[in-house]
Structure 1
Amino acid sequence: MTLQARLDAFKADFRAGKAPYTVPREVIDTMDRATAELIASGAAARALKAGEQAPAFTLNDPDGQPVASADLLAKGPLVVSFYRGVWCPYCNMELQALQAALPEFETLGASLVAISPQTAVNSRKSIRQNGLDFPILSDPRNEVAAAFGLRFEMPDYLVDLYKALKNDLPTFNGDPSWTLPMPARFVIGQDGTIRYAEVNPDYTRRPEPEDMFPVLRGAANVVA
């Protein structure tokens, strides 16, 4: 089953209220409103695109060790996945799909990192729950996400909903700002140029990991 098929199946069960997803209709309507408004805002069109230069970054892994994009790019191309946090089931399914694709990424000479605004404790939880062999880096205040054009501020009515659902992002992220990154995937070549960019303001839509293989073959000069 493809990643998007898994996401669609989860979304259908969630909307149908199948156990354990007994969510009131007004909650779904509020989430849909926020997604529609983010799409309409044109935020995704302002994110970095293929052909542009990727910002260099250094972020800490869950053990507090700094990981620099420059060091990873010295070894080969870099796959970067921005996601919302361990509390997001769509993000967790994406992480699992990336883990399944990790051997192919490594065969193509690429490194893989995921970036989230969550604290190190929650990144360790993400790694443990999803059985990950690649690092999750903490992006305090979504500053690296902002450099890629991904950070957005949640509307007040969505903040109120998250509070009502006990989804306390300031605690998850160690940051009171109530901002999130749009889910996004990038392939960065060793020269720092973005070779692939996929940004979607609809958090229920994610690209397949396999979509990046042809780009990685080109970036690493690997013959298929």
Structure 2
Amino acid sequence: MTLASRLAAFKADFEAGKPPYNVPRSVVDTMHRATAELRASGQHQRALKAGDKAPSFELTDAEGRIVRSEDLLAQGPLVVSFYRGVWCPHCNMDLQELQAILPRIRELGANLVAISPQVASNSRKSMRDNKLAFPVLSDPHNAVAAAFGVRFALPDYLVDLYKSLKNDLAAFNGDDSWTLPMPGRFIIGQDGVIAYAEVDPDYTVRPEPELLLAPLAALK
């Protein structure tokens, strides 16, 4: 089953209010509204693109160790995947599919990291629950996400909805800014230039991980 089909099946069940989600239609409509407004803002079109210079970063992994992009790029190309957090089912499916192609990414001489605003304990849960063998990095205040152009602030009505669903991003992230990254994947060459970029304001849509392989092979 492809990632797209997994995501579509989950979305259909969720939006139909099937167990265990049992969400009312008003919740679905509010999420649709927020996604439509984010797309209409054009922010995804202002994110970094292929040919742009990637910002360097220094973040901590799930165990508190410092991870520097320049150190990873010294080893080979770098795949960076931004995701929202362990609370997001779509993100977890995405991480699982990235894990499935991790051996092929490494065969092409590249490293892979995932970046989210969540605190280290939630990154550890991400790694444990999704059986990940690549680093999950914490991005306080979504600062690196902002540098890549994928950070956005949740509108007040969506903050209220998340709170009503007991999805407290301030607690998950150790930050009360109520910002998130748009899902985005980037391949950075050893020269620091972005070779591939895919950003979508719809958190239910993710590109197939296999799309990373051809650009990585072209960098060898």
Is TM more than 0.5 here?
yes
Identify the residue that residue 138 of structure 1 maps to in structure 2. Answer: 138
Identify the residue that residue 40 of structure 2 maps to in structure 1. Answer: 40
Identify the residue that residue 162 of structure 1 maps to in structure 2. Answer: 162
Q: How does 1:198-209 map to 2 (within 5 A)?
A: 198-209=198-209
State the distance in 1 between where 2:203 and 2:105 align.
Answer: 24
Structure 1 residue 19 displacement after superposition: 1.3
State the distance in 2 between where 1:20 and 1:173 align.
Answer: 25
State the distance in 1 between where 2:75 and 2:68 align.
Answer: 12
For the pair 1:79 / 2:79, whether they are aligned, the reply is yes
Identify the residue that residue 53 of structure 1 maps to in structure 2. Answer: 53
3-state SS in 2 of match to 1:160: helix
Query: If the length of structure 1 is used for normalisation, what is the TM-score?
Result: 0.98
Letter of the 1:64 counterpart: G
State the distance in 1 between where 2:174 and 2:195 align.
Answer: 32
State the distance in 2 between where 1:36 and 1:136 align.
Answer: 29
Q: Which runs of 5+ in 1 are unaligned?
A: none
Identify the residue that residue 91 of structure 1 maps to in structure 2. Answer: 91
Residues 104-151 of structure 1, C-alpha deviation per residue, up to 9 Å, x if partnerless? Answer: 001000000000000000000000000000000000000000000011
State the distance in 1 between where 2:108 and 2:19 align.
Answer: 41
Structure 1 residue 99 displacement after superposition: 0.2
State the distance in 2 between where 1:5 and 1:41 align.
Answer: 28
Identify the residue that residue 112 of structure 1 maps to in structure 2. Answer: 112
Structure 1 moving runs of 4+ over 3 Å: none
Q: Which runs of 5+ in 2 are unaligned?
A: none
Query: If the length of structure 2 is used for normalisation, what is the TM-score?
Result: 0.99
Letter of the 1:83 counterpart: Y
Number of aligned residue pairs: 220
Identify the residue that residue 149 of structure 1 maps to in structure 2. Answer: 149
